[in-house]
Structure 1
Amino acid sequence: MDHTPRSRGLGRRALLQAAVGTPAAVAASSLALGNTAAEATESAHPADPSAARFTLAVMPDTQYLFDEGGTDPEPVRESLRYLLRRRQDDNIVFMTHLGDVTEHGTEAEMASADPVFRTIEGKLPWSVLAGNHDVSGDDQRGDTPFLRTFGPRRFARSSTFRGASPDGYNTYHVFRAADRTWLVLALDWRTSDEGLAWARQVLDQNPGVPTILTTHDIVSPNDDGSATISDNGRHLWDGLIRSYDQIFLAMGGHYWPAGRTVQTNEHGNPVHLHITNYQDRYYGGAGMIRYYTFDLATGAIDVETFSPWLLEKRNPSTLEAETRELSGDVDRFTVELDFHHRFPGTPIPPLPPNAVLLPGTVAYWRFDGKDGDAATAARDLSGQGNDLTVQRIGTSGPDVLKYSAEFHEAQPAHGSVRFDGAKNRGAVLHTSASAPLATMKFQNGYTLETFIKLPEPFEGDHAWMGIFSWEGRAGDAGKDGGWSPDDAPCSLNVTSERFLQFVVYPVNQNDDPTCWSHALPPGRWTHVAVVNDGHHTAIYVDGSKIARNASLDSNGISTVGKPFAIGGTQGGGRYDQGFYGWIGDTRIVSRALRPDQFLTAR
């Protein structure tokens, strides 16, 4: 941090003399993710790499707590202990330090910091980079106490360390979280052109991997809490960040107070740039840490800033109480980011049909036609003879039903059909009346599964459009209870509010036990499973059981010898509303399945 002068008695000349030594023998590791370093024992209170919510911990400038003129490393040590204690509960997957570990970068200060950071080694993956109080010049400076203490050799056994630039001052790390790979670039406070070339090579060999760039100096604060790209930040932006769409977050320390801004890269996407530094606060920042809690389910990063050391104090002073948890707009905020759109990831490879034909499968359809072509039929891949053909609603033409290359990322097949239905418009894919499904009663239970996606924006009158159903009238099965004898015997529908409605007229009831979901989000693929165990029915949305499942005993489906259909639900024996959106793989099994047996399982 440049705002305050260095302590008297240790000027630039002494700092340079302290840095003189034998150049470190630093070997640049392989740049590809597949070449991993030796595995460490980072398993104490392990994080969950599959949970959609996880935390990245950030520690900014700690220089005033490692100062030869007067040092107290306890706040930093307590912050690191806190991260270990909270690793499992807060799902902390990684910790990164933003530089200026020490005040003068001397051997003595590095020796003081060294054992403190060993608190987390082998227990929590982390990275560190050099700030201007740790080193001088750019990353071609050669050997320094910082490099000998916090260089690549220190991380050689870390499970996340993947490599370093030849000079040793720039490193990169990968970790697993939310079932995907993330990359952290830890760049020197003055990354040279050689360092930037190395960083570009790392990203070129790891395309599309969501990347967080950490450095010491990237943006400077404005009075209103916003930030402006600094001169060094401009060097990084022009030479690296703006061209690589995978970099979505970049952070540094160096300046105070905290601040943030958003820049748009060459691909038209936002890059969030943050200052995180609290050395000007009480007790040199008191070991302040910042949580970046990612939630891929909601598309948000929740940010909060606090000092574990001060939080542990039972009777804090006024100053301690004011500092222990910060709540200003630049210290506690939310970053909105649609991760699934920005980083769609590599799809799970498609599965052959026989991989999902579980015992009891009576029908399985997938839609593998050429993108944009009119859909005409779908063969039943279970071999049970429930093939589908097209029936258009009213005077609809072939454009209302087309093959699509879109699909749910966990779907066995990589394709779908796009329905362009509305009132008195659309098409259905249905079996013949002689197909086995037309008369099956499912009294031993059933699982009905499909993948759907509603368009965004979801406009027009699409209330009560059918996803799938059995044709005919419940009244033809002798059912005069329930909503209406003109209802289809069984159907899965979408309401005007985008709620799912599953209604069935069971064999054992003169009624229509109905299940209701929450509102489905438009523009996003959803897996839906309807499971009946012979007595009760439950809907699962993306593997989670919904709340409003019918309590009435429900056994079987009162089919009436009419076709099964995808893309519509009859009323009074006719279609007057076509489905609007995408439908993917659809499977029917004549027994109740567990969620780990659904089509999304691998």
Structure 2
Amino acid sequence: MSSQLQGPDRDVPATDGTRGTSRRTVLRAAGVAGAATAAAGLTGTAAAAAPAAGPASAPAATSDNVAGWRTDPDSPRFTLAVMPDTQYLFDGASIHKEPVEAALRHVLDHARDENIVFLSHLGDLTENGRAEELAPLGEAFRILDRRGAGYSVLAGNHDIDSRTDDQRGRTPYLDAFGPQRLRGLRTFGGASPDGYNTYHRFRAAGRTWLVLALDWRPSAAGIAWAKNVIAQHPRTPVVLTTHELVYADTAGEEARLSGFGQHLWDELIESHDQIFLALGGHFWPAARTVRTNGAGNDVHLHVTNYQDRYFGGSAMIRLYRFDLSRKTIDVSTFSPWLLAKEKSGRLNALERRELELTDADNSFSVPVDFEKRFAGFAPLTPRRPRPAERMLLPGTVAYWRFDSGRPDGSAADEDLRVRDLSGHGNDLIRTAVPGSPADALRWSGRHHPDQPGHGSLFLDGSKPPLRGACLRTVPGAPLDTQTFRSGCTIEAFFMLPDDWTSSRNAWSALLSRQGTLGAAGKTGDPEEPVVTLSLSDGHALQWAAAPLDQKGLVTNWSHELPLGTWWHAAVVNDGRRTTMYVDGCPVARNPATSTQGLTTLGLSWLLGGYEYGGRLDQLFRGWIGDVRITGRALPTGAFMNA
């Protein structure tokens, strides 16, 4: 077998006629539960080409195995681990499996805190593709097998006869890492009939992702199989992994497609929009580029390989940390084996240089607007409106929403009355500053994506001069006298327009209670209202309330909230302490001060209005969506945006 295999890649032209100066692989990792080759409409199975499981194959995953691998399928943050060429660690009689074992243990040890969902090896596992080289590597991977961790392994040109494609038949590589080994993993989806191409699926960020692991040289049949797999998962984002894809001649240079990489782009990647990230090894140095596919979207193409470095790369791994909230993939590259040795103080001079690679091609961030990037094949389905009855939790004392069905932008009537959907009679009526335009209150179809009612009211208030309108509870509303001694939850959806300015719009209130501190016998500025949820001059939320058990105001503050974005605000009092939440997240400036109940003088609540000295002093500018007041402390899972 060794006489048929290439030597070091730098010296040997690739079989497609190009001469490589590094090594390439494409990462495409995705896990699928259950063998799906038949579902992909293909004849035969991977097992038909692969031998019966031998000593190197993993045991079928038992319930204990599966239980050992824990990831969070709903968190917007997850991590893909990538291991490139390890060939110089498994070279004839020179076998060093300890670096690989350390890397795999690192993946397991940090699976929970990093939410590592999958690992992809990019090929060239060994130098000569011999059974005696693959056996110790196969034993190392039992570290993952025993825990049921999802991974893919593909063949590089040193693992098989590099002159052949995926129709080459049985090899020591296939004996050691063929589908008979992987089918015991819950992420395994299926394999091409020859066994050299596999696909995998995993759940992360609330959706399914797919990894394609393609052979060193997939045949026309292999490419057709890959297309069929993608077609069978039409709404699934795909990470493609293969051994050779892109390369760069010098460090810092933008990567470009190799001859085979161009073939793969032309035949598969460009025409399949689901492929958004493609990873390869084979060449060095590390490099990356972005190309535009046939749908006009970016495809990120990376090469990662460290076999040219000290100790064959020390089994470096690369972590791709996906953060869908930040619309970013953060990438880092390091050697877990050397990091472990550093703790024991046993590093030599060369090892100290290899702990972590921090240059721009090995430590970087990739901006990806995932929602926009995947819109062509998996557009997000907007959350449907929820009936008002479903929002009436036990203890609800008031609930207002503005999905009236009126034409967008139309003015609210002067005799507007917004019904309290809780049935307690806390209806809202319009009150305006004399001389304000008739459309100071306007109906809108805009709403927070998680808002139960799909509509809002736009309040066009400002000063100086004071202008605009707001809503107030009707005279005699039961809400006006409630003190909430045992606790309460006040929630509101809102958005500030991009032209909101501190000079004209600061210190307006989403919700406030009429009545001054002075009239209530409280300390502080006697002209301030007894309760207000306001927006500061830095468009941060401020909850300022006079509790029953305090002499003056107690305040909670959010961070500054970007304009042009919908927010959900919640203020929760459990009878002892008040906590402010923004989009279900507690803010930092929540005091530990005891706060029981809310002071009242029996006057109205104002929605969008703020009084100073008992007179309207500022009016809200922006959109207000659903507002709910509950007479008890709610957990975040019961908030309207949950």
Find the partner of 1:130 among 147, 155, 163. Answer: 155
Find the partner of 2:421 among 372, 381, 389. Answer: 381
Q: Give the secondary-structure state (helix, strand or coil) at the position aligned to 1:569.
A: strand
Structure 1 partner of 2:638: 597
How far residue 139 of structure 1 moved from its aligned partner, in angstroms, is 3.9
Correspondence 1:361 to 2:368: no
Structure 2 partner of 1:67: 91
Task: Give me the whole-angstrom Cα distance separating, in 1, the residues matched to 2:288 and 2:274.
Answer: 19
Correspondence 1:534 to 2:575: yes
Task: Give me the whole-angstrom Cα distance separating, in 2, the residues matched to 1:30 and 1:248.
Answer: 24
Structure 1 partner of 2:305: 277
Task: Give me the whole-angstrom Cα distance separating, in 2, the residues matched to 1:392 and 1:244.
Answer: 56
- Equivalent runs, 1:370-449 vs 2, <5 Å: 370=405, 372=408, 374=410, 376=412, 378-389=418-429, 395-398=436-439, 401-409=442-450, 411-417=451-457, 419=459, 422-423=462-463, 424=466, 427-449=469-491
Q: Which sections of structure 2, spanning at least 5 residues, go unmatched?
A: 1-7, 14-34, 42-59
Correspondence 1:219 to 2:219: no
**Which moved further from structure 2: 181-190 or 281-290?**
181-190
Checking the alignment, whether the CA contact within 8 Å between 2:522 and 2:546 is kept in structure 1 is: no
Q: Give the secondary-structure state (helix, strand or coil) at the position aligned to 2:337.
A: helix
How far residue 274 of structure 1 moved from its aligned partner, in angstroms, is 1.5
Supply the AA of the counterpart residue of 1:384.
H
Correspondence 1:492 to 2:533: yes
Structure 2 partner of 1:181: 208
In structure 2, relative to structure 1, the CA distance for the partners of 1:484 and 1:267 (3 Å cut) is farther
- Equivalent runs, 1:514-525 vs 2, <5 Å: 514-525=555-566
How far residue 500 of structure 1 moved from its aligned partner, in angstroms, is 0.9
In structure 2, relative to structure 1, the CA distance for the partners of 1:2 and 1:396 (3 Å cut) is farther
In structure 2, relative to structure 1, the CA distance for the partners of 1:162 and 1:480 (3 Å cut) is same
Task: Give me the whole-angstrom Cα distance separating, in 2, the residues matched to 1:58 and 1:122.
Answer: 19
In structure 2, relative to structure 1, the CA distance for the partners of 1:292 and 1:300 (3 Å cut) is same
Checking the alignment, whether the CA contact within 8 Å between 1:532 and 1:538 is kept in structure 2 is: yes
Correspondence 1:336 to 2:355: no
How far residue 367 of structure 1 moved from its aligned partner, in angstroms, is 3.9
- Equivalent runs, 1:144-183 vs 2, <5 Å: 144-183=171-210
Supply the AA of the counterpart residue of 2:201.
V
Correspondence 1:316 to 2:316: no
CA offset digits 1:174-226 (Å, max 9, x no partner): 22334443332323333455544544444455455443222222221242242
In structure 2, relative to structure 1, the CA distance for the partners of 1:315 and 1:350 (3 Å cut) is same
Supply the AA of the counterpart residue of 2:157.
N
**Which moved further from structure 2: 451-460 or 181-190?**
451-460
In structure 2, relative to structure 1, the CA distance for the partners of 1:102 and 1:445 (3 Å cut) is same
Checking the alignment, whether the CA contact within 8 Å between 2:83 and 2:122 is kept in structure 1 is: yes
Checking the alignment, whether the CA contact within 8 Å between 1:129 and 1:187 is kept in structure 2 is: yes
Checking the alignment, whether the CA contact within 8 Å between 2:530 and 2:546 is kept in structure 1 is: yes
Checking the alignment, whether the CA contact within 8 Å between 1:101 and 1:131 is kept in structure 2 is: yes
Checking the alignment, whether the CA contact within 8 Å between 1:374 and 1:399 is kept in structure 2 is: no
Supply the AA of the counterpart residue of 2:320.
Y
How far residue 446 of structure 1 moved from its aligned partner, in angstroms, is 1.2
Structure 1 partner of 2:29: none
How far residue 159 of structure 1 moved from its aligned partner, in angstroms, is 1.6
Q: Give the secondary-structure state (helix, strand or coil) at the position aligned to 1:517.
A: strand
Give RMSD over aligned pairs.
Answer: 3.5
CA offset digits 1:114-151 (Å, max 9, x no partner): 22222211422111222222344444555544344323
How far residue 253 of structure 1 moved from its aligned partner, in angstroms, is 0.8
Supply the AA of the counterpart residue of 2:393.
L
CA offset digits 1:558-588 (Å, max 9, x no partner): 34444434344344432643332x4433221
Task: Give me the whole-angstrom Cα distance separating, in 2, the residues matched to 1:113 and 1:335.
Answer: 32
Checking the alignment, whether the CA contact within 8 Å between 1:252 and 1:275 is kept in structure 2 is: yes
Equivalenced residues, count: 575
Q: Give the secondary-structure state (helix, strand or coil) at the position aligned to 2:616.
A: coil
Q: Give the secondary-structure state (helix, strand or coil) at the position aligned to 2:215.
A: coil
How far residue 280 of structure 1 moved from its aligned partner, in angstroms, is 0.9
In structure 2, relative to structure 1, the CA distance for the partners of 1:291 and 1:372 (3 Å cut) is same
In structure 2, relative to structure 1, the CA distance for the partners of 1:341 and 1:415 (3 Å cut) is farther
In structure 2, relative to structure 1, the CA distance for the partners of 1:59 and 1:469 (3 Å cut) is same
**Which moved further from structure 2: 49-58 or 513-522?**
49-58
- Equivalent runs, 1:85-96 vs 2, <5 Å: 85-96=109-120
How far residue 431 of structure 1 moved from its aligned partner, in angstroms, is 3.5
In structure 2, relative to structure 1, the CA distance for the partners of 1:413 and 1:142 (3 Å cut) is farther
Structure 1 partner of 2:493: 451
Task: Give me the whole-angstrom Cα distance separating, in 2, the residues matched to 1:353 and 1:319.
Answer: 67
In structure 2, relative to structure 1, the CA distance for the partners of 1:591 and 1:271 (3 Å cut) is same
In structure 2, relative to structure 1, the CA distance for the partners of 1:360 and 1:144 (3 Å cut) is same
In structure 2, relative to structure 1, the CA distance for the partners of 1:246 and 1:5 (3 Å cut) is closer
Find the partner of 2:553 among 503, 509, 512. Answer: 512
Checking the alignment, whether the CA contact within 8 Å between 2:74 and 2:205 is kept in structure 1 is: yes
Checking the alignment, whether the CA contact within 8 Å between 1:488 and 1:573 is kept in structure 2 is: no
CA offset digits 1:492-519 (Å, max 9, x no partner): 1222322111112334545222211112
Task: Give me the whole-angstrom Cα distance separating, in 2, the residues matched to 1:165 and 1:206.
Answer: 16
Supply the AA of the counterpart residue of 2:86.
T
Task: Give me the whole-angstrom Cα distance separating, in 2, the residues matched to 1:484 and 1:301.
Answer: 52
CA offset digits 1:432-484 (Å, max 9, x no partner): 23332233222222110123344568667564354522353426843563335
Checking the alignment, whether the CA contact within 8 Å between 2:469 and 2:619 is kept in structure 1 is: no
CA offset digits 1:529-562 (Å, max 9, x no partner): 1012334322122333223234554333334444
In structure 2, relative to structure 1, the CA distance for the partners of 1:138 and 1:520 (3 Å cut) is farther
